[in-house]
Amino acid sequence: MKKVLNIGFLMLSLGLFLVSCNDDEYQTVESIDKIKIDSVKVVSDTMDVLGIQSIKTYSTYPSNCEGFYGYDYVYNDNLQRQVTAYKYITNGPCAQKNTVGASQINFNPQKKGTYTFKFWNGGDNWITKTIVVQ
């Protein structure tokens, strides 16, 4: 009887191990690529120095195998910023369906001035937003 219980326990443990190691539900990121920013929402075009403001960007992803990866946030000089969004692309079964995704940048200016943001909109096109920091 003890051998039967040990074998049963061994089989149950092995079964749980195989189920927990099944990674078919996970998709692997295959590549990263630029994605154009369709629109930008700035809550206020003026703010206080050392304040924090969320700037939301919206992009259209052509399938459910793509999503927001991150930003390339480049300081061109003290008051100018260029923002490019990047998407990930996975290897899973993909439904071709346009989905709009929102992401955000938390802007925390350290000095007064007029800040100019340029958000990449594809090709040589940029969406320009200005925020005055007092």
* Residue 121: CATH number of its domain: 2.60.40
pLDDT of residue 27: 82
Does some domain include residue 103? yes
Does some domain include residue 17? no
Average pLDDT over residues 95-120: 95
**Number of residues written out for the chain:** 134
Does some domain include residue 22? no
Q: Where are any strands of DSSP class E within 1-134? A: 29-35, 39-42, 46-47, 53-63, 66-75, 80-90, 96-107, 113-120, 126-133
Residue 120 has which token pair? 């990449």
pLDDT of residue 25: 65
Q: What is the chain's mean pLDDT, rounded?
A: 86
Q: What is the pTM of this model?
A: 0.78
Does some domain include residue 3? no
3 alpha-carbon distance from chain centroid? 53
Does some domain include residue 126? yes
Does some domain include residue 13? no
Does some domain include residue 18? no
Does some domain include residue 34? yes
More reliable by pLDDT, 127 or 17: 127
Number of domain units in the chain: 1
Domain that holds residue 89: 27-133
